[in-house]
Amino acid sequence: MAQYTSINDEKELALQKEYMKKAASYVADLETQIGHQPLCCVTTFGCQMNARDSEKLLGILTQIGYAPTDCEEEADFVIYNTCTVRDNANQRVYGRLGFLNSLKRKKPHLRIALCGCMMQENSVVDKIKKSYRFVDLIFGTHNIFKFAQLLVTMFENREMVIDIWQETDQIVEDLPVNRKYPYKSGINIMFGCNNFCSYCIVPYVRGRERSREPKDILMEIERLVRDGVVEVMLLGQNVNSYGKNLEHPVTFAQLLREVEQIEGLKRIRFMTSHPKDLSDELIEVMKQSDKICRHLHLPVQAGSNRILKAMNRRYTKEQYLALVHKIKSAMPDIAITTDIIVGFPGETLEDVEETIDVVRKVQYDNAFTFIYSKRTGTPAASMDNQVPEEMVKEGFDKVLKVVQDTARERAALLQGQIMEALVEEVNEQDESLMTGRLSNNMLVHFPAPRTSIGQMVQVSLDTCHGFYYTGHVVG
């Protein structure tokens, strides 16, 4: 297992800072050419890791002189940070690239970059080289710390610039980051995945598991808290195996204990927890903590032992249910959410009934249900018992119905309670309301001043609307 060295880091950081200066001079030239500050638009597909990567890209872009915009049409630089976990994510990117091409025809100085998980697949890069020649820059997941350098190369070349790495053992600390929310932030605690669930492409596009040093994580969080952050989400594909490969191994529970000590930090979340690695120590730390939120995302994927084995999940239905029982006994008010896949090769409708049984027994507060998507290069893609579409659809609809029914039942249980919410934003539908998030991740909408964004308030949960509440601030 590769270890990263901080000496390497510092050299790389200094180098990238030089490239940022150089890139800034190109952006200044562009500003003179177009007569206004150049705008950049970073569009994120996929998971929280990608969202965090986008904040890093935006950090560098703003540092070198771009102003951020959410509108692709008005941007002078558009970057798609892509996801390839299911095929529909890929199709959305191809669909939107056509639109970018038409924008570039109208605005020839428009630069287009593609990065993220999809770009780690050779077939994707080949397709872009062949059919989407107007793209200026392509890079992957392992070298985003080199973004400034890649931008300089892009500004100095007319040809498409492509830089994809198969792996990296480098973790570069302290690059600029531009956060989306002032009061909450994701923090990478580890990168990559070693689990190789047989349906999943993530280990191939994100590489082997690498943990950051606890001191780097803690320093980053302390800095964020000084900057106004009250809630952090610790990110990793399997946070429960955090720290195992560090030079001085640390458990995830130990890391949480240290994060908890940070003064001024009010809430701690994390994702994702693989059931096979969830320790008693973690349950104990969560139970004793005032800051760790009462929410656990615990993907089950399937309920049939035969399918779980073929998925290489390394737990049985019974082990999973016993784990949930242990967690709920320790923390009766905890919300448990999950991910479910329907239509894995060889899955019958009887197998799907096993999944439904798990949903009924666990009583999930929410569950993301996905139709199995065949990912080239994964073991499941070459299994010869792929399930016909109609059968998948039938199973999917059945699971979805039970998931929604149980989630509604769970939500209704909170009626009339007074709970603490972090005020997050103005309600999208009704500007007179604010949207807050409870510790258990549920949303509640209530009248409050805009100035309360980022603050913790006590809210009475007055009316349940299926999966969320409306209420009013008390006290």
**Residue 266 partner contact from ligand SAH, ligand F3S, ligand SF4, none using kind-dependent CB cut-offs of 5 to 8 Å:** none
User: Which one, 46 or 65, has the nearer CB to ligand F3S?
Assistant: 46
Contact with ligand F3S (CB under 6 A) among 38, 41, 50, 445: 50
Report d(CA 338, CA 364) in Å as an integer. Answer: 7
Encoded one letter per residue, x for contact with ligand SAH by CB under 6 A and - for no contact, window 350-389 reads --------------------x-xx-x--------------
The token pair at 460 is 């009475």
Residue nearest to ligand F3S (CB): 46
Measured from the CB atom, is 140 or 436 closer to ligand SAH?
140
Find the part of the chain contacting ligand SAH (CB under 6 A) among 181-189, 196-204, 243-251, 281-289. 196-204
Q: How far is the CB of 195 from ligand SF4 (least distance, A)?
A: 4
Nearest alpha carbon to residue 369 among 327, 407, 397: 397
Report which of 151, 145, 117 is spatially closest to residue 27, judged by C-alpha positions.
151
In sequence order, what DSSP letters do the residues of 370-392 get, joined into one string? EE----TTSGGGG-S-PPPHHHH
**392 near 342, Cβ under 8 Å?**
yes
Q: Is residue 105 classed exposed, middle or buried when 0-12, 13-18 and 19+ CB atoms within 10 A define those classes?
A: exposed
Q: Does 200 bind ligand SAH (CB under 6 A)?
A: yes
HSE value, Cβ hemisphere, 13 Å, CA-based, for 43: 19
Instruction: Give the position of tokens 């973690």.
Output: 282
Residues that bind ligand SF4 (CB under 6 A): 193, 195-197, 200, 202-203, 237-238, 274
Cβ neighbours of 198 (radius 10 Å): 19
CB nearer to ligand F3S: pick between 83 and 282? 83
84 touches ligand F3S (CB under 6 A) = yes
Applying CB under 6 A, among 54, 185, 188, 272 the residue interacting with ligand SAH is 272
Q: H or E segment at 109?
A: none
Q: Which two tokens stand for residue 449?
A: 């001043």
- The listed partner (ligand SAH, ligand F3S, ligand SF4, none) that binds 46, CB under 5 to 8 Å by sort, is ligand F3S
Query: Could you tell me the two tokens for 187?
Result: 């923090």
**In this complex, which beta carbon is closest to ligand SAH, that of residue 150 or of residue 200?**
200
Please tell me whether residue 49 binds ligand F3S under the rule CB under 6 A: yes
Tokens for 414, please give them.
Answer: 């909170």
Kindly list the residues in this chain that would bind ligand SAH in the complex (CB under 6 A).
85-86, 199-200, 202, 237-238, 272, 274, 299, 301, 339, 341, 370, 372-373, 375
